[in-house]
Structure 1
Amino acid sequence: MRECVLFYFLALCSAKPFILPPKYMAMTDLILNDMEDDNDDDDEKDDDDNNSLFPFKRNTPIRPTPPPFDIFPTCPFGCQCYLRVVQCSDLGLTAIPNKIPYDTRLLDLQNNKIKEVKEKDLQGLSSLYALFLNNNKVHKVHPKAFQSMKKLRRLYFSHNQLTEIPSNLPTSLAELRIHDNKVKKVQKGAFKGMESLHVLEMSANPLENDGIEPGAFDGLTVYHVRIAEAKLTSIPKGLPSSIYELHLDHNKISAVELEDLLRYQELKRLGLGHNKIKEVENGSLSNIPNIREIHLENNKLKKVPPGLQDLKYLQVIFLHSNNIAKVEVNDFCSTTPKLKKSLYSGISLFGNPVKYWEVQPATFRCTLGRNSIHLGNFRK
């Protein structure tokens, strides 16, 4: 019996102390221990060879002071933040949230109930590249709301309640969308200094021709302009001359006059569908010699617009759902074969009272093939 007790006593004296495994240690202690281990290793090296993540000088305390930045940055309550993207959509927000990370590049606030953009809502977000405020109830924007925005390129205000273009918008904008608001007036200088603005979307606003003040677009180099579903009765004459695409569909335009397109000689695509156009004045299309695509569907034209045969780059012309009763042999193709640089890939004439069996085959001699022509039957 004495031998068993002696053996047990010797085994107990030689046992090592019990240590908790790493998974039971606090995360903070693990980080501090790693930093301490790095610091101990650095004591054996020169200061120039210090490659630790958080280097400290020799003889530092066992628990050094934390680094001068936030390892876990804040994120607005309910939002999702990841890689400088803050996503706060569909949360029922009534105001722009606080504590947005200062280095945010994309801020998504669409599908909420935000009514106003206040002066300090976006303060400090100097790195912001895109701001989405679609589908809110914004009716007021403070004149200094975008004061710190130097890199903002995309601003979406579609589906809100704005009655005018917000003042003092960032001059760095490349894309501005104010679709489906209550804008009735575009004041002079509304886009002052926006030399980089390339896309302007203002459709579905109760905007009339008189609502566009002279000089409203001075200094702009816009390539894409869309003012569809408005109350325009004619093609605006004061838009930027640099336009490549102009979409004026679903308006009340009744005619295309000689001077309407004189300013837009760089135009590549023209959308005039779903209007009340009865006539395209002879010579008006010659002002857009680089045009590639024209939409004149769903109007009240009685004949093919004159001048199409002189447009050597025109490839697509939509004339369906009009009142065209006759198509001449030279309405689309020039009598000089070498004049046409690009063949037609699409000519639509369906929905017109034209007797397609009377159209001569030579009428479409400058098309890519029979699949490029859409005639169809006319039914009342």
Structure 2
Amino acid sequence: MRGYVLFYLLAFCSAKPFKLPPKYMALTDLMLQDMEDDSDEDDDNNSLFKNKFAFQATPPPFEIFPSCPFGCQCFLRVVQCSDLGLTSIPNKIPPDTRLLDLQNNKIKEVKEKDLEGLSSLSALFLNNNKLYKIDPKAFQSTNKLRRLYLSHNQLTEIPSNLPKSLAELRIHDNKVKKVPKDSFKGMASLHVLEMSANPLENEGIEPGAFEGLTVYHIRIAEAKLTSIPKGLPSSIYELHLDHNKISSIEQEDLIRYKQLQRLGLGNNKIKDVENGSFASIPNIREIHLQNNKLKRVPPGIPDLKYLQVLFLHSNSIAKVEVNDVCPPPPKLKKSLYSGISLFRNPVKYWEVQPATFRCTLGRNSVQFGNFRK
């Protein structure tokens, strides 16, 4: 074995130097000559490629590459900049952005040119910031904006010159005390308006404030309303006025809202409902009157042909008559109730006649319980 090893070592050591074939030697000399020629040129002309397709010495303009604000995430025309501690709207937002998410930051102001060039913007989320001012010209470029979320800020007024294209506006939990006339002028596409948790009183809603609107959903809960506002759009399907100081429902309060299908009046101070108050809302399907001070089932309930949900829990109702919730047969056909709540009332449920709930889907549709303080 050792003899074989020694034989190979001797053969390796006695081998002649390796020489390239003549054609490879010529190619090597040509490459060395090119390198020497390149070293004599200016530094600005140094390049890895010596043809017309080589990269230029001057870098191309930055605009040809996709841009994204520092710290944000950009994908498929969505720019997500939430929870970054931003104090202003960032620069270099891609002009084709469709959704801009800036919620949960510390932005105090929307300046005139902050949204400049964002003509494709469809949704802007600025909720949960520290906004107190929005420039009247801030929305000049956003003529396609459909959703604007300004909730949980410090705005004291409805921003002026809002985009006419808006379909949804949420300005919940701010400091708005007044809705001036023509606040939403020309906004024919606005369908959802959320204005809850603002110190808004009935006197703060000026006549004509909602003129020309076709809003379907309005919520002004947790405010300082003492009665149902009479100047809201007549087109509304849903009206939520929970957690206010409304003490009664009068006949003229709902006469304007004939298309109403859902009415939320829970957590108020309602003691009386005038007879005939519900006659002007024949299409109503849900009525929420829980946590009020009613002493009886409101009159006119059996005449509501499409009513399916009736919340009356946590009131002072002591008695439920046999025709309080269902029409007397064979007066008219009615949609069956899917839910009637009467718990937390001083009514003795064992004294209520079974026929009282003859127009419900079943026994599970009625929620009763002992009165407990």
TM-score by length of 2: 0.86
- The correspondence for 1:278, drawn from 268, 271, 278, is 271
- The correspondence for 1:162, drawn from 155, 173, 177, is 155
CA distance 1:76–1:373, shift in 2 (3 Å): same
Q: Distance in 2 between matches of 1:145 and 1:14?
A: 69
Tell me whether 1:218 sits opposite 2:218 in the alignment.
no
3-state secondary structure, aligned to 1:371: helix
Tell me whether 1:263 sits opposite 2:256 in the alignment.
yes
Q: Distance in 1 between matches of 2:248 and 2:324?
A: 19
CA distance 1:7–1:76, shift in 2 (3 Å): closer
Q: CA deviation at 1:61?
A: 3.4
Residue matched to 1:48:
none
Residue matched to 2:4:
none
CA distance 1:116–1:69, shift in 2 (3 Å): closer
Residue matched to 1:61:
52
- Cα deviation code 1:188-246 (max 9, x no counterpart): 00000110001000000000000000000000000000000000000000000000000
Tell me whether 1:317 sits opposite 2:310 in the alignment.
yes
Q: Distance in 2 between matches of 1:10 and 1:168?
A: 80
Contact 2:191 2:215 in 1 (8 A): yes
Deviates more, 1:8-17 or 1:280-289: 8-17
Contact 2:334 2:359 in 1 (8 A): no
Q: CA deviation at 1:76?
A: 1.1
3-state secondary structure, aligned to 2:253: coil
Alignment of 1:327-338 (within 5 A): 327-337=320-330
Contact 2:296 2:319 in 1 (8 A): yes
Contact 1:313 1:340 in 2 (8 A): no
- Cα deviation code 1:254-307 (max 9, x no counterpart): 000000000001000000000000011100011100000000000000000000
Q: CA deviation at 1:87?
A: 0.9
Percentage of pairs with the same residue: 79
Residue matched to 1:152:
145
Tell me whether 1:9 sits opposite 2:2 in the alignment.
no
3-state secondary structure, aligned to 2:310: strand
Contact 1:265 1:290 in 2 (8 A): yes
Q: Distance in 1 between matches of 2:194 and 2:248?
A: 23
- The correspondence for 1:298, drawn from 291, 300, 304, is 291
Q: Distance in 1 between matches of 2:232 and 2:354?
A: 40
Q: Distance in 2 between matches of 1:115 and 1:7?
A: 78
Structure 1, unpaired ranges of 5+: 20-31, 37-59
Partner AA of 1:141 in structure 2: I
Residue matched to 2:69:
76
Contact 1:311 1:340 in 2 (8 A): no
3-state secondary structure, aligned to 2:270: coil
Q: CA deviation at 1:73?
A: 1.7
Q: Distance in 1 between matches of 2:315 and 2:352?
A: 17
Contact 1:199 1:225 in 2 (8 A): yes
Alignment of 1:1-380 (within 5 A): 8-9=18-19, 61-63=52-54, 70-337=63-330, 339-380=332-373
Q: CA deviation at 1:63?
A: 3.6
3-state secondary structure, aligned to 1:286: coil
Pairwise CA RMSD: 2.4
- The count of aligned residue pairs is 341
Contact 1:155 1:175 in 2 (8 A): yes
